[in-house]
């Protein structure tokens, strides 16, 4: 189980409630843990109940508070139910991190309709559904922090990822637009765009491809989930009140 590596960055999230999608593993688990370590109660959302329970256990192990919510982010009823449950349990929702995401990489001529639909509905429609479900509460509370976990692929494109890149560019455009709708209510909306980060998603690329990828990264290594979590912590912190509609790139210099 990963732990937040360096505790040099801290924020006071005491009494706040966060909802992190895709919290059953990888980046989402690291983000949930980071927010919990800084005082937030964290609603952990994903489909795999067993893996979600491990995230909650890890948070409890460091003295944090968390609850698991099995939910498919593509399912609008389920998304609305989860938000209702969180509000019923904890009476507030301050932070939303749209991290759940998948890829189905293939060159365009071979891309099946389901490769397109599954990626777009998970990555982009899921983001829309959760943002819509939390926006009223955040507007009423006159406080909120929303972060979409996008990707550099949505900024510079990647061959074999037209579906994924379109969904990630969509998450960025969505964040920029929503930031303008909500800024007056003290709700910020930003995107984080990671490059290549160690996780099951990148492991699936295989050693050979990853070796080639590392050569193209000025930092000569993949990033870690904890490095992404630290960036998210900053954006959701009270200190980032004047940062909205932005994209924070974390890619070891790849797109610099």
| The only residue of 46, 66, 68, 97 in contact with ligand NDP, by rule CB under 6 A | 46
Please classify residue 82 by burial: count the beta carbons closer than 10 Å to its beta carbon, then call 0-12 exposed, 13-18 middle and 19+ buried. buried
Shortest distance (Å) from residue 226 CB to ligand NDP: 12
Q: Which residues contact 100 (CB under 8 A, 6 or more apart)?
A: 21, 22, 28, 45, 46, 73, 122, 123, 126
| The only residue of 22, 144, 170, 252 in contact with ligand NDP, by rule CB under 6 A | 22
> Taking CB under 6 A as the rule, does residue 72 contact ligand NDP?
yes
CA atoms of 99 and 29, how far apart (whole Å)? 10
Shortest distance (Å) from residue 51 CB to ligand NDP: 5
Q: Which residues of 33-65 are buried (b: 16+ CB within 10 A; e: fewer)?
A: bbbbbbbbbbbbbbbeeebbebbbebbeeeebe
Interface pattern 138-157 for ligand NDP (x via CB under 6 A) = -----------x-x------
> Taking CB under 6 A as the rule, does residue 196 contact ligand NDP?
yes
Dihedral sign (CA 17, 20, 23, 27):
negative
13/27 with CB nearer ligand NDP: 27
27/96 with CB nearer ligand NDP: 27
CA angle at residue 14 from 9 to 17, to 5 degrees?
105
40/52 with CB nearer ligand NDP: 52
66 CB neighbour count, 10 Å cutoff: 23
> Which one is catalytic: 164, 196, 234, 242?
164
Structure tokens at 137: 């509460």
The count of residues interacting with ligand NDP (CB under 6 A) is 28
155 CB neighbour count, 10 Å cutoff: 17
> Of the ranges 60-68, 79-87, 198-206, 234-242, which one interacts with ligand NDP (CB under 6 A)?
198-206
Structure-token match 């050693």, residue found: 207
Please classify residue 241 by burial: count the beta carbons closer than 10 Å to its beta carbon, then call 0-12 exposed, 13-18 middle and 19+ buried. exposed
Q: Is 164 part of the annotated catalytic residue set? A: yes
Structure tokens at 97: 């991190």
Shortest distance (Å) from residue 12 CB to ligand NDP: 26
Shortest distance (Å) from residue 73 CB to ligand NDP: 4
17/68 with CB nearer ligand NDP: 68
| The only residue of 1, 3, 15, 48 in contact with ligand NDP, by rule CB under 6 A | 48
Residues of the shown chain interacting with ligand NDP in the complex, contacts defined by CB under 6 A: 21-22, 24-28, 46-48, 51, 72-74, 99-102, 122, 149, 151, 194, 196-197, 199-202
């Amino acid at each position: 189980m990963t732990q937040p590596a360096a505790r040099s960055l801290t924020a006071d999230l005491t009494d706040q409630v966060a909802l992190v999608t895709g919290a059953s593993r990888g980046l989402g688990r690291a983000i949930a843990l980071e927010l919990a370590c800084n005082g937030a109660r964290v609603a952990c959302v994903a489909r795999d109940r067993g893996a979600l329970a491990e995230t909650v256990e890890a948070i409890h192990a460091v003295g944090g508070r968390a609850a698991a919510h099995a939910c498919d982010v593509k399912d609008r009823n389920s998304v609305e139910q989860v938000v209702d449950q969180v509000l019923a349990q904890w009476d507030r929702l301050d932070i939303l991190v749209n991290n759940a995401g998948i890829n189905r990489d293939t060159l365009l001529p071979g891309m099946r309709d389901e490769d397109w639909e599954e990626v777009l509905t998970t990555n982009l429609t899921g983001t829309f559904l959760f943002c819509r479900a939390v926006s009223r509460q955040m507007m009423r509370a006159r406080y909120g922090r929303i972060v979409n976990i996008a990707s550099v692929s949505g900024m510079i494109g990647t061959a074999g990822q037209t579906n994924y890149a379109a969904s990630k560019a969509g998450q960025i455009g969505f964040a920029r637009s929503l930031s303008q709708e909500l800024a007056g209510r003290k709700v910020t909306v930003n995107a984080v765009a990671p490059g290549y980060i160690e996780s099951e998603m990148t492991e699936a690329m295989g050693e050979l491809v990853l070796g080639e990828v590392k050569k193209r990264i000025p930092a000569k290594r993949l990033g870690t989930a904890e490095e992404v979590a630290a960036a998210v912590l900053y954006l959701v912190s009270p200190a980032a009140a004047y940062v909205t509609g932005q994209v924070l790139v974390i890619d070891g210099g790849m797109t610099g």
